[in-house]
Amino acid sequence: MEIIMSILSGILFTCGIYLLLQKQLLRVIIGTGLLSHGAHLFILTMGGFPEGAPPILKEGVEFYRDPLPQALILTSIVISFGVTSFLLVLAYKTYKTNKTDNLEELRGTEHE
């Protein structure tokens, strides 16, 4: 299972990076979304999937899933949500100000 999940997060990263390299801002933001999905899956996969109950303590259960990666991912999800929403509004504002959402046109005229 871990192999499949590693491949899946690899594919998510590939698509995310590919979208990041595109010109249109919307695609770039979708790319960041894919990247964060990939990263979350990656963290979870690193924890491994041994058999076990959800990490909520119960009488009589001996094996639980690893709670630490879950806590980390939870933090990460919230942060990436904040960043993504910020990016979206930034893209909206950029488009309003510059009348273009093409990254190639958004670059400065002077090379610096």
Partner 1 sequence: MLHFLIIAPLIMAILAPILFKKIKGVHTGWFILVVPLFIFIYLLSLVSTVIHKPLFLQLNWMPSLGINFDLYVDGLSMLFGLLITGIGSLVVFYSIYYLHKTEKLGHFYVYLLMFMTAMLGVVFSDNLFVFYMFWEFTSLSSFLLIGFWNHREKSRYGAQKSMLITVFGGLSMLAGLVWMSIVVGTNSIRGLIQHADVIIQSDYFLPILLLVLLGAFTKSAQFPFHTWLPDAMEAPTPVSAYLHSATMVKAGIYLVARLSILFSGTDEFFLIVSGFGLLTLCWGSYNAVKHTDLKGILAYSTISQLGMIMAMLGFGTGVAVFAAIFHILNHATFKGSLFMVAGIVDHETGTRDIRRLGGLFTLMPITATLAIFGVFSMAGIPLPILNGFLSKEMFFDAAVDLRLESGSIYQMVAPFFPVIAVIGSIFTFVYSMILYFQTFTGELKLSKLERKPHDPPLGMLLSPFVLVVLIIVIALFPGPFNHYLLTPAVAAVMGSEVPHTKIYFWHGFFNAPLFMSLIVLFTGTLLYFTRSKWVHVYDRFPGSWSMNKAYDSIVGGIFKGSATLTNTYMTGSLRNYFRIIIGFIAILGLYTIYITTGFKFDQVTNSALAIPELIIALTMMIAAISIIFISNRIAAILALGVVGYGLSLLFVFFSAPDLALTQLSVETVSVALFLLCFYHLPKLKPEKDTSGSKLINIIVSVAFGLMITFIGIASHSSKWFESISDYFLKYSYKLGGGDNVVNVILVDMRGLDTMLEICVLGIAALGILAMIKYSRKGDVE
Q: Which of residues 23-62 bind partner 1 (CB under 8 A)?
A: 23-27, 29-30, 33-34, 37-38, 40-42, 44-58
How many residues bind partner 1, per CB under 8 A? Answer: 88
Distance in Å, CB of 60 to partner 1, minimum: 13
Judged by beta carbon, residue 29 or residue 60, the one nearer partner 1 is: 29
**Residue 4 found at the interface with partner 1 (CB under 8 A):** yes
Selection from 46, 42, 29 nearest residue 94 by Cα: 29
Fill in the per-residue mask, 59 to 78: x = in contact with partner 1 (CB under 8 A), - = not in contact: -----xxxxx-xx-xxx-xx
CB of 39 to partner 1, least distance (A): 9
Tokens 């046109």 correspond to: 105
Q: For residue 105, what are its two tokens? A: 């046109």
Tokens of 53: 């109950």
What 94-101 contacts at long range (C-beta under 8 Å, 24+ apart), as own/partner pairs, is 94/25, 95/25, 101/24, 101/25, 101/26
